[in-house]
Structure 1
Amino acid sequence: MATADPFDAALDLLRRLNPKHTTSHLNSIISLAPDLTEDLLSSVDQPLGVRGCRQSGRDYLLCDYNRDGDSYRSPWSNEFDPPLDEAGLGGVSGAGNDGAGEGAVPSERVRKMEIKANEAFDVYRDLYYEGGVSSVYFWNLDDGFAGVVLLKKLSNPGSTSEGVWDSIHVFEAIERGRSTQYKLTSTVILNLSSSGTALGEMDLSGNMTRQIEQELPVDGDESHIINIGRLVEDMELKMRNLLQEVYFGKAKDVVGDLRSVGSLSEAGRDREAQREIIGSMRR
C-alpha cells in the first residue's frame, strides 16, 4: 500500500477534529512535522487574532496574508510589528515589493487601493456588524493584484452565552483592459457556546467555504473597490442565509427530535387529538 502524503494526512486529521480548537490542533501538528509549517499555515483557515497598531492605536486582524516570519503588517500604518530586522528581511520603506519578503508589501498603486478598501470596509463593518474589527490587505500579482478582506465579531465575550464570527474573503483580480476577472474564495468560521442555562450546555462550531468567479467592467482603480465590495457583500449575505436556513434549521430539527421541552404526556395528548381530527375528517 502506498504511503500517505503527510500534508494530506494532516488536513484529513484537522477535518475530523473539533473546529473550535483548530489553532491548538494546528500548532500540535506543526510541532510534530515542522517541515509542513508553511503549507499548513497557508492552507488552513483558523480564527483571526487581533492586535493593536502602535502608530494609529487602531486594532487590526492577524492572518497568514499579512505575516512575515513572526511579524504582522498593520493596514493602518503599513508597518510590521515587531519591526523586521535590517539584517534579515529588511524594512518596508520602499514602495515596491523589495524587503519584507516577496509580495509582503504592496506597490504604491496597490497600497492606495488598500487604504481606500480599509476605509470602505470599516464602514461596512459598522453598518452590518455594529462593532467588531475589519482589515483588508492587498498584494501584487504579475497580471493584476490580490487581497484578503477580514471581518471579526465577538458577541458577549466572557459571558455564559457567547459567539465568535470570523469571515475571510480571499480574492484575485486579473486585469484585462476595461474589465477584470475576479475570483473570490470566502470562508466563515462560527463558534457558538452556551453554558449555565436551565436547558444545559451547547457548543456549536464549524466553518463553511464558498467560491465564485465573475468578470466585471472597470473604470479606474476606484472601480476595483466597488466591485470587490459588492462581491463580498453578496457572498456574506448568501452564506448567512445558508447558515440560518440550512445549518441552524437542521440543528434545530435534530435537537427537537432528540429532546422535548414539553412533557411526554402533553405530547401524547396532542398526537391523540390530531388523530381524532384526522379520523373525523375521513368519515
Structure 2
Amino acid sequence: MASADPFDSALDLLRRLNPKDTSRNVSLLCQIAPSLTEDLLESVDVPLSVKRCSKTGRDFLCCDYNRDGDSWRSPWSNEFEPPIEDGEAVMSSERVRKMEVKANDAFDVYRELYFEGGISSVYLWDVDDGFAGCVLLKKSVSPGGKGKAASWDSIHVFEALDRARTAHYKLTSTVILNLGTEAEALGSMDLSGNMVRQIEQDMPVEDDGSHVANIGRMVEDMEYKMRNLLQEVYFGKAKDIVDDLRSIPSIKETEKDKATHREMISKMGR
C-alpha cells in the first residue's frame, strides 16, 4: 500500500479543523514539516495580515504574492518591509508597475465606497503574453468595542492574457468570513468559513487603463455575488433551521392556516 502524500495529508487535516484557526494551524504545520512551507503558503488562503509602509506611513496587506522570504513589498512605495539585504528582489516591468499604481488608486476608492474603511492592496507581475495580479481587501470590526472581532478578507487572483483588441481574464476569488461575538447576555458565538469562485471572460481593451477598469468590474461583480451567497448560507440557512426547530406562531394557528389553504384549493378544484 502506497504511503499518503504529506502535502495532501496536510490539506486534508486543514479541511477538518476550525476555519477561524487556519493561520495558526498553517504555522504549526510549517513548524512540523518545514519542507511543506512553500507549498502550504502558496495553496492555503488565510486571513490577510497587515504591515505599515515605513516610507509612506500607509498600511498594506500581506500575502504570498508580495512576499520574498520574510519581507513583503508595499504597493505604495514598491519597496520591501523589512528591506531585503542579500540580493535583488524580482520586480515587475515598468508598464506593469504603472498599472499597479493605477489599480491601487482605483481600489482604494472602491474600498471606501463599499467597505467604508478597511485596507486594500493590489499587486501585479509579468507573465508570458500578459500579466497577472491579485486584489486584496480586508475589514475588521469589533461590535461595541468588546468581545470578538468580525472580519472580511477577500483575495482575487487573476491572469490577463493580451489578444488583438481584447484580453482574456481568469479570475479566482476567495472570501474568508469570520463572525464572532462574545457577551454576557448572548454568550459566545463563532461563524467562520470561506468560499471560492472562478470565472473566465473576454473583454475589450483599448489601452492599459482598460485593464484596470475591466479587472475592477469583474472584482465588483464577483464580490456582489459572493456576498449575497454568503448571506444566504450564513443567515438564510440558519433561519430555516431555527424555524424548523421553533415556529413563531402556535401550532394551533399553523394547523388552522393549513386547513383553510386546503379548503380553498379543494373549492378551486371543484
Q: Provide TM-score, normalisation by structure 1.
A: 0.87
User: 2:153 aligned with 1:183, yes or no?
Assistant: no
CA offsets 1:150-209 (integer angstroms, 9 cap, x no match): 000112265236410000000001112321111000000000012225343321000000
The equivalent position to 1:270 in structure 2, one of 253, 257, 266, is 253
User: 2:193 aligned with 1:206, yes or no?
Assistant: yes
Query: Matches of 2:76 and 2:22 in 1, distance apart?
Result: 28
User: Which secondary structure does the structure 1 equivalent of 2:250 belong to?
Assistant: helix
Q: CA 1:261–1:132 in 2, change beyond 3 Å: closer, same or farther?
A: farther
Q: Which amino acid aligns with 2:84?
A: L
CA offsets 1:24-74 (integer angstroms, 9 cap, x no match): 110111111110100000000000011111111111001111000000000
> Percent identity, aligned pairs only?
65
Structure 2 unaligned spans of 5+: none
Q: Which residue pairs with 1:93 in the alignment?
A: none
Length, aligned pairs only: 265
CA offsets 1:207-254 (integer angstroms, 9 cap, x no match): 000000111111111010011001101111111111122442112222
Q: CA 1:261–1:152 in 2, change beyond 3 Å: closer, same or farther?
A: farther
What are the equivalent positions in structure 2 for 1:142-181 lying under 5 Å apart? Answer: 142-156=128-142, 158-160=145-147, 162-181=149-168
Q: Which amino acid aligns with 1:160?
A: G
What are the equivalent positions in structure 2 for 1:116-135 lying under 5 Å apart? Answer: 116-135=102-121
What are the equivalent positions in structure 2 for 1:5-44 lying under 5 Å apart? Answer: 5-44=5-44
Q: What displacement does 1:272 show? A: 5.0
Q: Which residue pairs with 2:180 in the alignment?
A: 193
Query: Matches of 2:253 and 2:166 in 1, distance apart?
Result: 62
What RMSD in Å do the two structures reach over aligned CA positions?
2.0
Q: Which residue pairs with 1:95 in the alignment?
A: none
